[in-house]
Structure 1
Amino acid sequence: MTMLLLRLTLCSKIPPDSPRHLSQLLSRKPTQGGQGRAHSSSFAHRSELRQAKRIVVKLGSAVVTRGDECGLALGRLASIVEQVAMLQNQGREMMIVTSGAVAFGKQRLRHEILLSQSVRQALHSGHSQLNDMSLPVLEARACAAAGQSGLMALYEAMFTQYSTCTAQVLVTNLDFHDDQKRQNLNSTLRELLHMNIVPIINTNDAVVPPPEPNSDLQGVISIKDNDSLAARLAVEMKADLLIALSDVEGLYNSPPGTDDAKLIDIFYPGDQQSITYGTKSRVGIGGMEAKVKAALWALHGGTSVVIANGTNPKVTGHVITDIVEGKKVGTFFSEFKPAGPSVEEQTEMARRSGRALASLHPDQRSEIICHLADLLTERKEEILAANKMDMDLAVSAGHLPPAMLKRLSLSPAKLNSLAVGLRQIATAAQDSVGRVLRRTRVAHNLELEQITVPIGLLLVIFEARPDCLPQVSTLAIASGNALLLKGGKEAANTNHVLHQLTQEALSMHGVKEAVQMVSTREEVEDLCRLDKMIDLIVPRGSSQLVRDIQRAAKGIPVLGHSEGICHVYVDSEASIDKVIKIVRDSKCDYPAACNAMETLLIHRDILRTPMFDQIIDMLRTERVKIHAGPRFASYLTFSPSEAKSMRTEYGELECCMEVVDSMQEAVEHIHKYGSFHTDVIITENEDTAEKFLQQLDSACVFWNASSRFADGYRFGLGAEVGISTARIHARGPVGLEGLLTTKWVLRGDGHTVADFSEHGTMKYLHENLPAGQPLAGQRDSN
């Protein structure tokens, strides 16, 4: 008893001379995890996994051992232990079912046998026979006995670094089939969890007989491997979540590595017949079929299950915590199949229908767009009623700022304006897809042309701006692109109606599924991982949304800008009337817009002049709060509050004001602090203006015009999917042209490269042909 108390003292980092603290530890109430949700059924969706309190983590042999089978994977185990300890310290109850004892023991015994044989043969037979040594077949029970102690010692040492105590529990099949033993095991584990100890559980392979196939009796799963042990233990202990880590990403519909193998995100019990299983892991005794059977058994018992990869070095350090946070990792087992298609199925439907959309005649795509424009005005009462529901909910919730409420609101005038913009796009759609940009006669009867084609499948993520949906949908239709939409929950009712109208318009030419609205509870980060399905992501929303998507979208291009730090430079030769009009409009027309002015640059010669006084008076009248740049503040005795940063996007009636000595210095300032979005010069000097327009490296550069003109509709593009500050493909307001790419089409007559070799019979001509002129004998594709 004394040794037990000492051990608990060490594990809990309690000074040995503090019996009062020790008694508090032994008598404290169970953690919050023990009082978790009523254990009646498993979680329906990944996002609910955050509520999991009691969690079983199963580590397969391939996770515990190194790839060369010459020891334990120490780095991998250390990261797993760190995650388990962190979750334990959050108040959850963690249990580990570990494999690896047999594999570790086999490696230890193999090393000892080799060492023993090498010594004997060196003494008796000479060094020449060392290469002829053969290893005997090692009995699994002996390997388990040799490996279990070392494996447990390693766990104990690692968890101690996080002030977390562990306890070893070895079980056999009989411990679950004998009622008394099962109750004893249950009681022991509950007491360990009560004392904030992490149980490390394994089968007692030193005494168990070899597993027998198909030995399940009366619906009770047999303990044949650690997959079944983990499932039985999770159900017995009423665990909320079982995480089974192995050396595969999750469950595939066919063996991983085959051409058509796809990772299954969510697996439902009724999908079992559609799975083709592969081989077992390199060191384990189970296989994916055993894992699925154990997972379904646990799921039926009320425990949620995720099968994931615990060996991938890119994710091992956070795989467990990611699963608990509800992220899309591995395969999630669920009993609750949603009524609609999954986001992956929606993506496939959109891509298939999008190809049909791209093959339509331009007149047909224009008809779809015009019909959608008509629907926006004909069904405006239905749209506005849905929008009123969203507005009422947003106002009652009280969490949306005024600028967001303004974006959320729709009006008859806004719908009419939308319809006008859509009809502009319908006209432009006549000459978009399939347009010949370049024609070349490479050689006789060998003609090459470069033509415009859709990008493919677009993912557009937008916040509380329902007018974005018909705009983006129309641009996608006009450019022949498939579209996946993810709207903000604040506009859910409005988005639903607008999407229905969009699909109604698409139905007139049988391409209804080309535009899909993601209505499932998919996180944005999860959507950004569909890199094999999505060709381009377009975020429409706050700078924070854009930054988050740019970080999450690994492998998928993102079209957009993270910030709109727009400058207006007032030159020494500016007209006072133009300055007042342009500065007021750039800042005050719509302060939350990404093309609103955020920094006003003033030429030094304007300071302490009537023009300067009028600028300040106008800003005060419009209630614009001014933040002084460092140099501007130095000129004033009583300056406004100094700007914390020159790279601030205020998005409200606030702006920074700074002083520069020249146009050249203004350009240098914008290059240093701007976001390359939209920048303006106000001057009457044409030479100064042209130098500014030429030297400034922004997506939009204006002379004597408001920054608010940086907009697809105002540019005559009809609408825009966003404003891009990228260097490649598209910059500025991105309309129809920005959603197209090109492909090369070569038409020959049995030509080969060998025909053009030194001894060939043909020569390259490379003659440029008029792009609009059809080739001889060829029908114009449009």
Structure 2
Amino acid sequence: MWIFEVGRNLRKVSSFGAHVALRPSASLPKNSLGYRFLSNTEANEQQVERRAQRRQATFTDRTQLKYARRLVVKLGSAVITREDEHGLALGRLASIVEQVAECHVGGRECIMVTSGAVAFGKQKLAQELLMSLSMRETLSPKDHTRSETGTLLEPRAAAAVGQSGLMSLYDAMFAQYGVKIAQVLVTKGDFYNEETRRNLISTLSELISLNIVPIINTNDAVTPPPQTDDDFRTGTGGKKIIALKDNDSLAAMLAAEVEADLLILMSDVDGIYTKPPSQEGARLIPTFTPDMLESVKFGKKSKVGTGGMDSKVQAATWALDRGVSVVICNGMQEKAIKTIMSGRKLGTFFTDVAATPGFLPVEHMCENARHGSRTLIGLSAEDRANCIRTLADLLVSKQDFILAENAKDILEAQKVNTAKPLLNRLSLSPSKLNRCKQVSTKLLTRATKTLVAL
């Protein structure tokens, strides 16, 4: 295959799986049209370069998630399946569809990775199985349609029966918001083969450009039972790629291939805990970094899913390493997607910038400020006065350090074209610091006189 390059710095994916890179040709005269062909090697090098540039643009804290333009939302089996494993939780599913539709109508590009075909199919097969029972079995108090479910209702057959109904349900729900959807079924071979993966990404890009929401699921009718594969495997060209074992790894691989800004993995737990949530002392981790992986203990997977929390963390860290921000949240919580997109604290946010020496996420700063405020309230009047005196003295003794850090803030503000009045308010000087100290001292003196008078 050859890549055709022409024109200016734009990029499109054709419907035939060939990347059309619009960029001036350096090997042709300036007055020519600039047509030239790129080999696969050159195209791969450009793709690696683009992803390296995106890698540096990964969101560093939750407040930046509102800028995500391309989203991949993965719905776990436990989120959209009823407790009895037969049928879908329509209320939860409708709420998620509404949020995805609102994101789509608001200008974001959305891709959904869904489970639920097996659960939907089990509901239909259970009815057929009931019709095949004898009179004795029908009148028996024992439910023969649900005993020995693993042998009576084969998951692959249930998936084949339920997939069409699942997509019909999605189509009806999204139609209420004027959003069109497309079904895409994939298998392991679609990702491990270079040509089929290229065709898959081409199809997804074409659907997105047509303002259609792709809904992706593994083709469970032909997929073999879950195996104990390694978390990673070697793909074409010796590249290390994640093993496609469940929809978590599928969502991570898709997010990396389509260069998504954000991947949301929705499960039936609130996020990543230091140990299984059922154990005493388990604590939710609001911000997760890859170096914390060894300190986390994982529990068992849900009874209706194929991947547990360990699988989600492996998929999330793999996607994060390829420039995709990730949030693992509880899909049963109301308005979870809208809460995440607004930058509020929900679930576990994956980032790697916390490993940078001296870096502290904004949410941690807020938590420390709240803790300090509560501690300050509990202090005596004399202790508070000593705190104010210490801070006033530090404004002068640490003046050089404060002014140096303020100069860095001014430069960052100028890069984003901050208005001049705001820059003047942000700027510090020795006279401003001395004035702050004088005001603090006056307030302290006035407060002391008031307490003495009382």
> Same fold by TM-score, threshold 0.5 exceeded?
yes
Q: How does 1:273-288 map to 2 (within 5 A)?
A: 273-288=294-309
Answer whether contact 1:36 1:54 (CA < 8 A) is retained. no
Distance of 2:173 and 2:392 partners within structure 1: 67
For 2:125, give the aligned amino acid.
L
Residue among 378, 397, 421 paired with 2:443: 421
Deviation (angstroms), 1:259: 2.9
Structure 2 equivalent of residue 627 of structure 1: none
Distance of 1:411 and 1:353 partners within structure 2: 23
Distance of 1:186 and 1:81 partners within structure 2: 23
Distance of 1:372 and 1:358 partners within structure 2: 18
Distance of 1:297 and 1:52 partners within structure 2: 19
Residue among 141, 155, 162 paired with 1:140: 155
Structure 1 equivalent of residue 393 of structure 2: 375
Residue among 104, 109, 114 paired with 1:88: 104
Deviation (angstroms), 1:244: 0.7
Answer whether contact 1:56 1:94 (CA < 8 A) is retained. yes
Q: Which is worse superposed, 331-340 or 382-391?
A: 382-391
Deviation (angstroms), 1:346: 8.1
- Greater Rg by CA: 1
Answer whether contact 2:274 2:283 (CA < 8 A) is retained. yes
Residue among 327, 333, 344 paired with 1:327: 344
Answer whether contact 1:307 1:332 (CA < 8 A) is retained. yes
3-state SS, counterpart of residue 344 of structure 2: coil
3-state SS, counterpart of residue 199 of structure 1: strand
Structure 1 equivalent of residue 88 of structure 2: 72
Q: Residues 195 and 287 of structure 1: is their aligned pair in 2 closer, same or farther, counting only changes over 3 Å?
A: same
Distance of 1:176 and 1:56 partners within structure 2: 17
Structure 2 equivalent of residue 272 of structure 1: 293
Structure 2 equivalent of residue 398 of structure 1: 421
For 1:196, give the aligned amino acid.
N
Q: Residues 107 and 371 of structure 1: is their aligned pair in 2 closer, same or farther, counting only changes over 3 Å?
A: same
3-state SS, counterpart of residue 39 of structure 1: helix
TM-score, normalising length: structure 1: 0.43
Answer whether contact 1:253 1:274 (CA < 8 A) is retained. yes
Distance of 2:293 and 2:186 partners within structure 1: 30
For 1:419, give the aligned amino acid.
T
Deviation (angstroms), 1:345: 8.1
Structure 2 equivalent of residue 55 of structure 1: 71
Structure 1 equivalent of residue 353 of structure 2: 336
Structure 1 equivalent of residue 246 of structure 2: 225
Answer whether contact 2:130 2:138 (CA < 8 A) is retained. no
Q: Residues 346 and 311 of structure 1: is their aligned pair in 2 closer, same or farther, counting only changes over 3 Å?
A: closer
Deviations 1:432-454 (A, max 9, x none): xxxxxxxxxxxxxxxxxxxxxxx
Deviations 1:329-386 (A, max 9, x none): 2111112225244554885799699979979x997x3783484387279669879979
3-state SS, counterpart of residue 233 of structure 2: coil
3-state SS, counterpart of residue 272 of structure 2: coil
Unpaired stretches in structure 1, ≥5 consecutive residues: 1-34, 428-712, 719-736, 738-782
Q: Residues 257 and 145 of structure 1: is their aligned pair in 2 closer, same or farther, counting only changes over 3 Å?
A: same
Q: Which is worse superposed, 175-184 or 374-383?
A: 374-383
Q: How does 1:204-215 map to 2 (within 5 A)?
A: 204-215=219-230
Distance of 1:207 and 1:274 partners within structure 2: 37
Which structure would you say has the larger RCO, counting Cα contacts within 8 Å and 6 or more residues apart? 2
Q: How does 1:693-772 map to 2 (within 5 A)?
A: 716-717=450-451
Q: How does 1:575-590 map to 2 (within 5 A)?
A: none
Distance of 2:420 and 2:444 partners within structure 1: 33
3-state SS, counterpart of residue 244 of structure 1: strand
Pairing 1:237–2:254 present: no
Distance of 1:115 and 1:187 partners within structure 2: 45
Answer whether contact 2:256 2:323 (CA < 8 A) is retained. yes
Answer whether contact 1:55 1:92 (CA < 8 A) is retained. yes
Q: Which is worse superposed, 416-425 or 172-181?
A: 416-425
For 1:209, give the aligned amino acid.
P
Q: Over the residues paired in the alignment, what is the CA RMSD in angstroms?
A: 4.1
For 2:346, give the aligned amino acid.
V
Answer whether contact 1:264 1:331 (CA < 8 A) is retained. yes
TM-score, normalising length: structure 2: 0.72
Structure 2 equivalent of residue 159 of structure 1: 174
Structure 2 equivalent of residue 203 of structure 1: 218
Deviation (angstroms), 1:264: 1.3
Distance of 2:182 and 2:419 partners within structure 1: 52
Distance of 1:164 and 1:247 partners within structure 2: 27
Deviation (angstroms), 1:227: 0.3
Answer whether contact 1:387 1:410 (CA < 8 A) is retained. no
3-state SS, counterpart of residue 261 of structure 1: coil
Unpaired stretches in structure 2, ≥5 consecutive residues: 1-49, 235-239
Distance of 2:126 and 2:177 partners within structure 1: 33
Deviation (angstroms), 1:103: 2.1
Q: How does 1:98-137 map to 2 (within 5 A)?
A: 98-117=114-133, 120-121=134-135, 125=136, 129-131=140-142, 133=144, 135-136=147-148, 137=151
Distance of 1:299 and 1:411 partners within structure 2: 42
Distance of 1:256 and 1:311 partners within structure 2: 16
3-state SS, counterpart of residue 285 of structure 2: coil
Deviations 1:96-124 (A, max 9, x none): 1001111222233223323442xx31xxx
For 2:175, give the aligned amino acid.
T
Deviation (angstroms), 1:416: 3.5
For 1:320, give the aligned amino acid.
I
Q: Residues 285 and 400 of structure 1: is their aligned pair in 2 closer, same or farther, counting only changes over 3 Å?
A: same
- Taking only the aligned residue pairs, the percentage that are identical comes to 45
Structure 2 equivalent of residue 306 of structure 1: 327
